[in-house]
Structure 1
Amino acid sequence: MRKWRSLLFVCLSYYPALAQEVPLGGWQTHFSYLSALRVEQVQDRFFCATYNGLFSYQPQNDSTVLYSKINGLHDTGISSLAFEPDSRQLLLSYRNGNLDLVQLDENTEFQSITEWPLLRDAPSLPDDRRSYQLIFRKKLAYLSTFFGIVVLDPSRLEVRETYQNIGPGGSETAVFGISFTQDSLYAHTSQGILRTSLSDNVNRQFYGNWQRVPASFTATSIAVLQEKLYAGVAGQGIFRKNNAGWQLVYPATSQRVSLRVSQDRIVAALDNRVVTLSPQDQATGFRDPLLVATQEAILDAANNLWVADRQTGLISNFSGSYRSLSPPTGDTTIATRTDSIIVDRNGFQWIRLPGTLGGGILVKNPATQQQRYLTASPNNGGLPSSQVNSLSLDRNGLVWFAADRGVGYFVPEGVLSVGAVNAVLPIFGQRRLLSNEYNTAIVSEPGDRKWVGTRNGLYLFSPDGTRLVRQFDAANSPLPSDQILALKFDETSGRLYIDTPNGLVSYRSDASAPAADLQTITIFPNPVRPGYSGMVGIKGLVNETVVKITDLAGRLVFETRSEGGTASWNLLDYTGRRARGGVYLVLTIAPDGTESRAGKLAIVE
């Protein structure tokens, strides 16, 4: 202990973490916020749902807030959303049928989020469970779905009514949107526009109480303005219903005609422009190069336009000119995969072959053109299957693979010269490693632990693949999907990038590339604020650096070794209790004892 105490006087390199440092065990989304689909105004805040994400924008202070599973949402991929002003509830509907009921405070900040997996978990519904449209009426939420209309009471978390099989003769019909007059409910369905009475005496669950509204066209959307029914028709424009039938009030060749009512106007999102119609059918057009693939549009009280555009994001002209208000978007997918061809320490190329070429792995010496195919046959590869989806070279020079029926590795030495070559298949849980999973990706991190992506989530194993360190899926983590498409590890930052069908996210591992020396160490987060439940990271270390954390009296609280260039502390002492508030000393020493550094960590209670 004297040696460690002497380090207190040579704290040469202590750098507190930067504000943007992602904590160990922390997640980040890397979604595209340009694929905007829906826009909803709540007081001075505009919520915009994109294909994978949700964000809000406040023009008063030019501020943007991102929402995801990381900060409280329960799913990914919003299909529709709506706001109920009296209860201050924002209802989010996801593509898989899940619902989030968000309670907003007076400043439109999220106060609470209640998951409502009503449709997602229903046992007998069709696979398509999304809500094509959400609309509130008298505090009840009406969901337009593939299987009909669902009426919900969010205040009681209960189903009021369902209108299924409302087509002619009681046939099934998909409902894409609804609108209300004082006495009627209109539904835009796969069998045309249907109408029913809102009278309390009418049983709307009986198909006989739904009548088809005659029309010579197929509507793409409907809306009601001042008790008049409007229909958007692809390639024709906007029609209004009158006593004599339908009247074309705005001709347009646009294939998309999405109608909403906003500020006592019909607001129509066309292919690459927006048109508003007054109750007197006076049209006003909006065009701009940023309007490329408009999906939905509304007006604010000052008649500024707010548009959800599928290519350019949330667009508005509130500042006098059109601009995109979507958050900046970086890489949203792992575009270049490096796990199809790897080069081992001998310079041999390991190439995973697609099924069209027979599958397996081709090992090739570029210098001599000598090569060998490794297959599922014994002594000629011994792969668990010929479907190899990913390759990774670890710190020990072993070539790891992820196949559809297991995970294992090869020892490269002699692979082109010896007769019998068989994959090593680690044993985990009394069976071959992940032999019951379809494994899609594998990557080694600097500490040589193995991340494996599957169709059922993400696994982190010990370096030899025999011990499970962590397991993530969409239910217990911010992963947007259980299906992992690709993995990429950034050794400098310690981030694991995870590509899924529902978007790209990253996880801050407690491992990173080792530093050459201990000249610069970073402790983060620092200080540890009240309520923080994550891990403290110490980075800038050499591999297997010894890290000791003591109080100011020199009493040892925690000790560990780094995974590559990073070590972590879960803020628990040796007794398993959370460390008390105060200042702690972080003492680091290289494994060979040649150099050491120290820093301070503050825990605030």
Structure 2
Amino acid sequence: MFKKLIVIIICLLPLMQFGQDYSALWEGHFSFFNIKKVTQSTTKIYGASENAIFSLDVNSNEIEQITTINGLSGETISTIYYSETYQLLVVGYENGLIEIVFDNDTNVLTIVDIIDKPTIPPTQKRINHFNAFGNLIYISTNYGISVFNLERLEFGDTYFIGNAGSQLVINQTTIYQDYIYASTSNSGIRRAPVSSTNLVDFNNWELVTTGNFLSIEAQNDNLYAIRTNRRIYKVVDKTLTELFLFPDVPLDVKSVTDNLIVTTKNNVFVYDTNFNLVSKVDKDPNFVTDYTSSTILNEQLYIGTKIFGVLKTSLLSPITFEEIHPDGPLLNTPFRIQTDARGLWVTFGEYDEFYNPYTGGGPHRRGISHLINNAWQNTPYEDVLGARSLNYISINPLDNKQVFISSFFNGMLEINDEIPTFLYNQTNSGLESLVLPNNPNYIDVRVGASTFDSNGLLWITSGLIVNQLKSFNPSNKQWKSYTLDAIIPDAFDNNGFADIVIDNNQTKWVAAGYDYGVIGFNESNGNTVIKAVFSEDQNMPSTTVSALALDKRNQLWIGTVKGLRVLYNTSNIFDDDLSVDEIIISEDGIAKELLFQQYISDIKVDGSNNKWIGTTDSGLFYFSSDGQKTIYHFTTDNSPLPSNSIRDISINENNGTVYIATTRGLVSFQSGGSGPLETLDSVFAYPNPVRPKFNIVDDKIKIKNISENINIKITDIEGNLVAEAQSRTNQRYSGYNLEIDGGTAYWNGKNMANNVVASGVYLVMLSDLDSFETKVLKIMVVR
């Protein structure tokens, strides 16, 4: 009854909204190794990573995830708190957002009061701490203290407690002996009577002591405060008595079950009510990592870490540790992804838009992750032979257990049967280091975009050298180098390449940095030819090309930092003048350019020749094969994308799963489409039989593993035509009762009169229009 009342109240609140549960078609692939905060209920431990949360039921050991799939925002989490009274989890974010996750509910309540408040600068809205008292929760922020009513789910007052009502960074609050105390970053400890009805008046807040305080926490009859000088003090009235000097800066301080818990990066200290040390946890040699936060439940200590998720150990005998976290990739910052027959490869190396690997503390020492049969296998940096800034992934089509991963600093890593086996560099391969005139000993082998051709040769791009295009034959280890100096005069004129694709004519198309657009290169006839498209005269909106894709018709789709272009004829480009076309669509009767001025980060073509296009700030688009129809436009507002900045897309054509790498994590979408097969040998229909509870109109019957050019007729048992479709005519999303999407056909159960068919047996007759192969399936419909 109480929860129903909450829902009624929520519907009336303008600054709150429910996040939708997307678990039907979406799946999250988040990392839970780096835990920022832990908290507890009476039966569960909650651990928050950068932008996702998991819970552990300590009785059943069941682990559940709470992510953008369940309605979380995907923003960066700063703190969490669980309310046993109201059975909800409160999540605070660095940007001021607050979300509430209700127990046993699929909805997430989003509260935007702070994030939308114009009088507070964006940099000062960070949520630092939640402190519950009665039905209120005091929210410590970088501007002051806000009050939220957990019973009514609404905001109360905001306290600006600095001198003359100025904004202060509040790190933590606590209630002690009828006072609310606040620790500030640079203005000491302040307090006010908690029962006062006028706490908005800064004059009611008195200064207890000056200094820079990280935390303040009440523990039964005691009050403790910790300064940035690593010292903990007992506070009595306005007198501070020093108790202990911690070896490292305390990161998390909380009182749980009469214990005071202080967490530093190297230790956890647990004290009783007399400040006697109950337990001191050092680092375990098997789990060398920094600690971040800790809590206690059932005499067990749960420690958040930066590398191993949550570590569980005995409170009184912290000798052995248990690693706890959901399965997931190494990090929530995927850079490049690539599907294979068994799952998905992920790299986390980075370079910026100017191909600088030193950005953000790089070259990055990060490992790789591989999703294999729905389980993650993670290879840490220590096992990748020293390869830094790992980026593009190419899987050998002749041996899918052999994988080559580009390093934008150390060359190219070869992996066989999941094990990194060889690092190609300037000393043992045809790869080259850039040469600095004033530092000839500097080594920097920048390998970026790569792909295999139909002959099993791996084509590799490399920036800041003369021979920027290379081929490698994995079978005989032979290297060849090619210069692009007909377009790029000097090695240092081009830092790197955004993409490389190879068309049916064996022309290599490379997205050449930020000055030379797209370069077409072909050496297959013994006569090397090269051509580029980058100028306004060739209808290019920018010289900076960011993504390339070749569709099923051998048309080249070109993404730039200022929009989209298509090269419709890739056959005679070395003989003809080269120009590209924009796609013009009609929107409300007005002709517009598709994706005008959008920064396009990636383009992928699915089995139906439809286009998935990612952008850097507008989310993900799914277009029909010609771009004239927008099938989906996913953003953080209408989907579980953790960010509108898309880094990479990869499609599993066997099952239609679309993997999306964003700046804040990895998710996948079950598009339902798949690539066509060469024969009808493995074609099948499901569900079959179709039972009464199945929603045939919306969920549709799928006919899988069809060939590319096919005619499908569905008849009843007496031979009456019920539905018919043909490739390239009855395409999906076109409103037909029977639609074809690559290797899958969809029937909504309706007949030629647009009525749902009656119970009975229906024949599906398939005819390949190229090979004349035929196949007949039977589908039983029970209504």
Once the two structures are superposed, residues 348-399 of structure 1 have per-residue CA deviations (whole angstroms, 9 ceiling, x without a partner) of 22111223xx241222224544322321331xx3211122111111111111
Distance in 2 of aligned mates of 1:193 and 1:312? 35
Match of 1:252 in 2: 246
Q: Does 1:277 align with 2:237?
A: no
Shift of 1:174: 2.1
Quick one: which of 744, 756, 764 aligns to 1:587? 764
| Counterpart code for 1:405 | K
Match of 2:365 in 1: none
Q: Does 1:563 align with 2:741?
A: yes
Distance in 2 of aligned mates of 1:69 and 1:528? 33
Distance in 2 of aligned mates of 1:330 and 1:588? 44
Match of 1:11 in 2: none
Match of 2:543 in 1: 386
Match of 1:4 in 2: none
Residues 190, 252 of structure 1: alpha-carbon distance in 2 compared, 3 angstrom cutoff: closer
Once the two structures are superposed, residues 459-504 of structure 1 have per-residue CA deviations (whole angstroms, 9 ceiling, x without a partner) of 1111122222221111111111222222222223322111112211
Q: Please, which moves more after superposition, 447-456 or 435-444?
A: 435-444
Aligned length: 569
Shift of 1:123: 4.1
Residues 199, 238 of structure 1: alpha-carbon distance in 2 compared, 3 angstrom cutoff: closer
Once the two structures are superposed, residues 190-239 of structure 1 have per-residue CA deviations (whole angstroms, 9 ceiling, x without a partner) of 323332223434522122222333255x3333322124332334563433
Quick one: which of 229, 233, 244 aligns to 1:239? 233
Contact residue 257 and residue 270 of structure 1 kept, 8 A: yes
Match of 1:294 in 2: 291
Q: What is the TM-score with the length of structure 2 in the denominator? A: 0.66
Q: Does 1:350 align with 2:509?
A: yes
RMSD of Structure 2 on Structure 1 (CA):
3.2
Match of 2:652 in 1: 490
Distance in 1 of aligned mates of 2:249 and 2:763? 64
Contact residue 167 and residue 173 of structure 1 kept, 8 A: yes
Q: Does 1:340 align with 2:499?
A: yes
Residues 114, 530 of structure 1: alpha-carbon distance in 2 compared, 3 angstrom cutoff: farther
SS in 1 for 2:122: coil
Shift of 1:436: 3.9
Q: What is the TM-score with the length of structure 1 in the denominator? A: 0.85
Q: Please, which moves more after superposition, 525-534 or 449-458?
A: 525-534
Match of 1:169 in 2: 164
Residues 440, 30 of structure 1: alpha-carbon distance in 2 compared, 3 angstrom cutoff: same
Match of 1:53 in 2: 52
Distance in 2 of aligned mates of 1:232 and 1:267? 12
SS in 1 for 2:182: strand
Match of 1:228 in 2: 222
Match of 1:157 in 2: 153
Q: Does 1:511 align with 2:677?
A: no
Distance in 1 of aligned mates of 2:293 and 2:323? 15
Quick one: which of 133, 137, 140 aligns to 1:137? 133
| Counterpart code for 2:265 | D
SS in 1 for 2:646: coil
Once the two structures are superposed, residues 137-184 of structure 1 have per-residue CA deviations (whole angstroms, 9 ceiling, x without a partner) of 1111221222221101133232211112x2123322122221121311
Residues 597, 215 of structure 1: alpha-carbon distance in 2 compared, 3 angstrom cutoff: farther
Contact residue 24 and residue 537 of structure 1 kept, 8 A: no
Contact residue 23 and residue 70 of structure 2 kept, 8 A: no
Q: Please, which moves more after superposition, 506-515 or 528-537?
A: 528-537
Match of 1:323 in 2: 322
SS in 2 for 1:208: helix
Shift of 1:73: 4.0
- Quote the sequence identity (%): 23
Distance in 1 of aligned mates of 2:59 and 2:516? 58
Quick one: which of 553, 567, 573 aligns to 1:415? 573
Distance in 2 of aligned mates of 1:200 and 1:508? 53
Q: Please, which moves more after superposition, 271-280 or 190-199?
A: 190-199
Distance in 2 of aligned mates of 1:528 and 1:98? 45
Contact residue 499 and residue 505 of structure 1 kept, 8 A: yes
Q: Does 1:374 align with 2:533?
A: yes
Match of 1:428 in 2: 585
| Counterpart code for 1:439 | I
SS in 2 for 1:324: strand
Contact residue 36 and residue 295 of structure 1 kept, 8 A: yes
Distance in 1 of aligned mates of 2:69 and 2:542? 36
Quick one: which of 198, 203, 208 aligns to 2:203? 208
Distance in 1 of aligned mates of 2:687 and 2:640? 20
What does 1:83-162 align with in structure 2 at a 5 Å threshold? Answer: 83-104=82-103, 109-110=104-105, 112-128=107-123, 129-162=125-158
Shift of 1:564: 1.9
| Counterpart code for 2:635 | D
Distance in 2 of aligned mates of 1:586 and 1:308? 58
Residues 291, 110 of structure 1: alpha-carbon distance in 2 compared, 3 angstrom cutoff: farther
Distance in 2 of aligned mates of 1:408 and 1:169? 58
Shift of 1:519: 2.7
- With a CA cutoff of 8 Å and minimum separation of 6, indicate the structure with the bigger relative contact order: 1
What runs of 5+ residues in structure 1 fail to find an aligned partner? 1-22
SS in 1 for 2:676: coil
Q: Does 1:480 align with 2:474?
A: no
Shift of 1:261: 0.9
